[in-house]
Amino acid sequence: MPKISAASVADHRAQQRAALVRAAHELLEEGDAARVTFGAVADRLGLARNSVYKYFGSRQELLEAVVVEAAPRWTAPIRTAMAAADTPEGRVAAFVTAQLALVRDGEHRVAQALAGDRDAAALRAGAEHAHRDILQPLVETLEELGDDSPRRTAGLLQGFVNAATKAIESGDDFAAVNERATRLAVAALAGVAGTATGATGADGTVTGATGADGAATGSSGAAARG
């Protein structure tokens, strides 16, 4: 492992701990949580296995640290993309696209590997906290639209993302899946109580929606027709 230069012993320990978490994260990205052992993490950094115990008392504690470290990487792109959108429809579109981009880029493999791990139950609290953080900007958008049950609606809209995630993971075209999922999510806003936007015309077109990539996301009729 390259020598870590730090201003103090405390800084050195913090850097070492962060390096161990990154190594565990890399192993999870390869898709098999069972490979995340103290021995494997130590080998990746060129350390002795027992040195990992100086920083983590158990494998579960290490995986919990991975969740804490990874959560901002899951939530920050979503919040940034939504903040850049000018309309509620655009923010919903950005919510979908930003998540699917994480799937495309492989970050979702970490969450999948953790969900299938033998310590998944112990990690659930951290994962649920991250999930709430992901949904929160969508909840705020739905509140702005006058939804009387924004968290329930947010969970249902997340269902479009979950289905699109499975499609991308199965090899379907990212751009096509993202465009369709975005249209469906934006069209669903027409059913939100108090929504003045996302009006549906006689031809089935939902107006005013823009995806995170700047593309129009409008036609519920086209989405239904396939």
Write out pLDDT tens, residues 3-41: 555 567 788 889 999 999 999 988 888 867 788 899 999
Helices 108-115 and 120-144, axial angle in degrees (round to 10): 130
pLDDT (average), residues 75-96: 93
Q: Is the pLDDT of residue 107 over 80?
A: no
3-state SS track over the chain: CCCCCCCCHHHHHHHHHHHHHHHHHHHHHCCCHHHCCHHHHHHHHCCCHHHHHHCCCCHHHHHHHHHHHHHHHHHHHHHHHHHHCCCHHHHHHHHHHHHHHHHHCCCHHHHHHHHCCCCHHHHHHHHHHHHHHHHHHHHHHHHHCCCCCHHHHHHHHHHHHHHHHHHHHCCCCHHHHHHHHHHHHHHHHHHCCCCCCCCECCCCEECCCECCCCCECCEHHHHHHC
Predicted pLDDT of residue 119 = 63
Q: Is the pLDDT of residue 209 over 50?
A: no
C-alpha distances in angstroms, 38 versus 27, 51, 53, 55, 157? Answer: 11, 9, 8, 11, 39
Query: Is pLDDT larger for residue 141 or for residue 215?
Result: 141
Write out pLDDT tens, residues 24-83: 988 888 867 788 899 999 999 999 999 999 999 988 889 888 888 877 878 899 999 999
CB atoms under 10 Å from CB of 57, counted, come to 10
